[in-house]
Amino acid sequence: MRQVIIIGSGPAGYTAAIYAARANLSPLLIASSVEAGGELMKTTEVENFPGFPEGIMGPELMLNMQAQAERFGTEIILDDVESVDLTGDVKRVTLGNGDVHEALSVIYATGSAYRKLGISDEERLSGYGVSWCATCDGFFFRQKTIAVVGGGDSAMEEASFLTKFADKVYLIHRSDKLRASKIMQDRAHANPKIEFLFNKTVEHIYGDTQVTGVGLRDTVDGTETTVDLSGLFIAIGNDPRTHLVHGQVDLTADGTIAVQGRTSRTSIPGVFAAGDVLDVTYRQAVTAAASGTVAALDVEHYLASLPAEILETASA
Amino acid sequence: MSQATAVTDATFESEVLGSDKTILVDFWAEWCGPCRAVSPILDQIAAEHSDKITVVKLDVDANPETAMKYQITSIPAMKVYRGGEVVKTVIGAKPKGALEAELADFLA
């Protein structure tokens, strides 16, 4: 029986682990089998995490956080959570390998999953020109024409990054207003290889064995056009990853996990949430880390307030 | 570190295409986070099914010719070769169970 199990290994999960471990709670952190480190593992330079004036590579930042969590006694398992049973005083977490771990509390920090366009052929051509990871796949589009779909910071960052390889990068966005921060927009605008295609939605992806083009529709006048390209990078946002707790923990209208006020407390006592899984607004490494801190402190408080009989059952 | 043998543009012909075994080639690169995540899982699968399948790695950065020939546009890409032909392609880092399911025909 554990005091706390942390599910997730992004900035929220690792920061919660650092705090919980320093509070002598010997946390167990389930990091996932192939996504350990979370979204930042797929990024390059992180320029806005305080304390790194020259910037730091996303994967390096995450390995640092992992090392820091381990240094204070966090146990990390590289497996995926298959299911959770959170309703009782003792929480049960079942892993992909069949192991069941029990704890008095759980911090749920599973982050979010990239959104799909939801059009035909997107799945079929995924890995054959359709990609969600510019840092993984950009390399294969040297001197090619490609496109990024999206209007946020990640779309701008991916487009700028991809110009290192591609001759031409279209930035396709459904409106003419970008959600991205000013500095990222300016950078993209100043890049001669990037051309904005505003007020356009992607209706079709063409290609037999590899992407050869996309069909766009103008959201203002309805005109349909075809653009020849060999890669389509999709960066249209993320959805909170809550499928494991559906039917157990209350969610908000946005699909995030509902928490009480500025705390991390969910609708179930002993279950806390942190990071992007409860935040569709800010979604920064540093806000996720802060949120992980809140969760660890809430866990400490919760454990201290548990009645003696629960603690006895737990230690029995 | 991965236990898989590295193959190159120069050795691909003899070690993969010319092999009489079933060979899984893991197309990867140093800068690909998901590749690093899937590598130990492939090591495990290779160790558990060493009589059925041999796992080798090809660094796409250093070996662009082979990567281009097999139209790699996304990594990690795992291609299974038998008798010089690609008989299965799996793209993207997946948990062990999911990879084993995709590769079931070659592990049984």
3-state secondary structure of A160: helix
The beta-carbon neighbor of A136 closest among B61, B75, B94 is B75
In a domain, B32, yes or no: yes
Assigned domain for B91 exists: yes
Contact yes or no for B73 and A37 at CB 8 A:
no
Position B65 in a domain: yes
Interface confidence: ipTM more than 0.85 = no
Mean pLDDT of the B77-95 span:
95
For residues A248-256, give the mean pLDDT: 96
**Do the Cβ atoms of A239 and A113 come closer than 8 Å?**
yes
Type of residue at A261 = G
Q: Indicate if the alpha-carbon torsion angle B43, A65, A257, A6 is positive or negative.
A: positive
Cβ–Cβ pairs < 8 A, chains A and B: 72
Q: In this predicted model, what pLDDT tens digit does every residue of A17-71 receive, in sequence order?
A: 999 999 999 999 999 998 999 999 888 888 899 999 999 999 899 999 999 999 9
Strand-strand pairing, B85-91 and B77-82: antiparallel
Whole-angstrom distance, CA of residue A56 vs CA of residue A62 = 10
Enter the tokens of residue A240: 């909170």
Segment A276-314, tens digit of pLDDT: 999 988 889 999 999 999 999 999 999 999 998 887 776
Per CB-CB distance under 8 Å, the chain A contacts of B92 are 126-127
The 3-state DSSP class for residue B11 equals coil
Q: Which of residues 64-83 of B touch A (CB under 8 A)?
A: 67, 71-75, 77
Q: Which of B74, B78, B88, B100 to mutate to test the interface with A (most CBs of A within 10 A)?
A: B74
Q: What is d(CA A57, CA A107) in angstroms, rounded to the nearest whole number?
A: 26
pLDDT band (50, 70, 90) for residue B54: very high
Contact A33, B44 (CB under 8 A): no
Concerning whether B35 is annotated as a catalytic residue, the answer is yes
Residue B67 lies in a domain: yes
In chain B the first and final C-alpha atoms are separated, in Å, by: 27
Q: Catalytic amino acids of A?
A: 133, 136-137
**What one-character DSSP code corresponds to residue A115?**
P
Across the interface, of B33, B91, B96, the residue whose CB is closest to A59 is: B33
Supply the range of the domain harboring residue B59: 5-103
Neighbours of A282 (CB within 10 A): 11
> Would residue B81 count as lying in a domain?
yes
Contact B33 A41 (CB under 8 A): yes
CATH number at residue B58: 3.40.30.10
Q: Using an 8 Å CB-CB cutoff, list chain B residues near A37.
A: 33
Instruction: Report how far residue A292's alpha carbon sits from residue A7's, in angstroms, rounded to the nearest whole number.
Output: 11
B54-59/B23-28 β-pairing: parallel
Is A140–B95 a contact, with Cβ atoms under 8 angstroms apart? Answer: no
Predicted pLDDT of residue A91: 97
Is A139 in the B-facing interface, judged by CB distances under 8 Å?
A: yes
The tokens describing A228, both together, are: 């020849």
Nearest to B38 among A34, A80, A133 (CB): A34
> At B1, is the pLDDT very low, low, confident or very high (cuts 50, 70, 90)?
low
Residues of B in contact with A230 (CB under 8 A): 73
Residues B88 and B80: their CA atoms lie apart, in Å, by 5
d(CA A178, CA A174): 9
Does B88 lie at the interface with A, CB-CB under 8 angstroms?
Answer: no
Q: Is the dihedral of CA A11, A12, A17, A22 positive or negative?
A: positive
Q: Is position B37 within any domain? A: yes
A225 beta partners: A216
Is residue A42 within 8 angstroms of chain B, CB to CB?
yes
Domain assignment present for B108: no
**Contacts of residue B67 in chain A, CB cutoff 8 Å?**
140
User: Could you give the number of structural domains in chain B?
Assistant: 1
The percentage of chain A sitting over the pLDDT mark of 70, rounded to a whole number, equals 99
pLDDT at A212 (0 to 100): 97
- Alpha helices (H) in A58-152, listed in sequence order: 58-71, 134-137
Residue B40 falls inside a structural domain: yes
In degrees and rounded to multiples of 5, residue A230 shows phi and psi of -115, -5
What is the pTM (predicted TM-score) of this model?
0.85
The CA-CA-CA angle for residues A230, A234, A238, to 5°, reads: 170
Q: Which of A33, A34, A83 to mutate to test the interface with B (most CBs of B within 10 A)?
A: A34
Contact A124/B at CB under 8 A: no
Does residue A63 belong to the interface with chain B, where contact is any CB pair within 8 Å?
A: no
- pLDDT-derived band at A174 (thresholds 50, 70, 90) equals very high
DSSP three-state, residue B40: helix
Average the pLDDT over B73-81 and give the result.
95
Q: Crossing angle for the helix pair A182-190 and A153-162, nearest 10 degrees?
A: 30
3-state secondary structure of B2: coil
Is the CB of residue A129 less than 8 Å away from at least one CB of chain B?
yes
